Amino acid sequence: MSNLERSLIASFRSVLGQDLLVSVSTEPISPSYLTGRERQIMRGFGLARRRTWLVGRAALKPLLQQMSLPPDSSFMQFPHKQISLSHSGNLAIAVGSLDHDLSGLGVDLETVLDLNPRTGRFFLTEAEIEALDGGLKELRLAELWTVKEAIFKSDLRNQHRLLSDYQIIDWPNKSCCGWATSCLAEQTQGNSNCSAGTARFQFCLLNTAIGNVALATRRWRKIHAYEERALAS
């Protein structure tokens, strides 16, 4: 295990209070370590995409071994409730959890540290854009993008959804965890505001030597009586 992987594991434990497995790769895995099904998938990519995919396998396959799962990654489907994978440039990070109570796990790695300010309207909600002048003003757009990507990946039902379908509702500062919710139910009722009572996603952001790393988790939980009353009203 590398020092970077140890540092990420310790940070996730400190900020989120969760024990996670982390595997980082900077080089592609040799095709000789792939299964027949994996090699078949690899042959379907062009040279550039193939290298990115192989770097991802180099991070993912050791993680599967740590989790005592079959090493053939060709059977993996994302989003996955306990495993997530992210690529950026020549880097890849895979994160896994042995906690079966999780109903979603998402990680995102971004080596680009800033974005054009005009891109914010494509992935932020109106409330988040307003917050950039308030509680979120210390954040760069690239950091918010990384967080929203991780939240998106942690939603097992993210098909046909956009990053702007999720809203950060509580995040005091970058050094602590935050909470986010899906805005879809509220938007269908003509209301773009998200309620803190519907929060489902917990996340954190780390500024590391390899770039911004965000991780988000989702858990199943029962709706409390006070939430039922709020929804009924």
How many Å apart are CA 191 and CA 209, to the nearest integer?
40
At 56-77, the pLDDT tens digits run 999 999 999 999 999 999 999 9
Q: Provide the whole-model pTM.
A: 0.87
Half-sphere exposure of 32 (CA within 13 A, CB side): 1
Q: What's the mean per-residue pLDDT of the chain?
A: 87
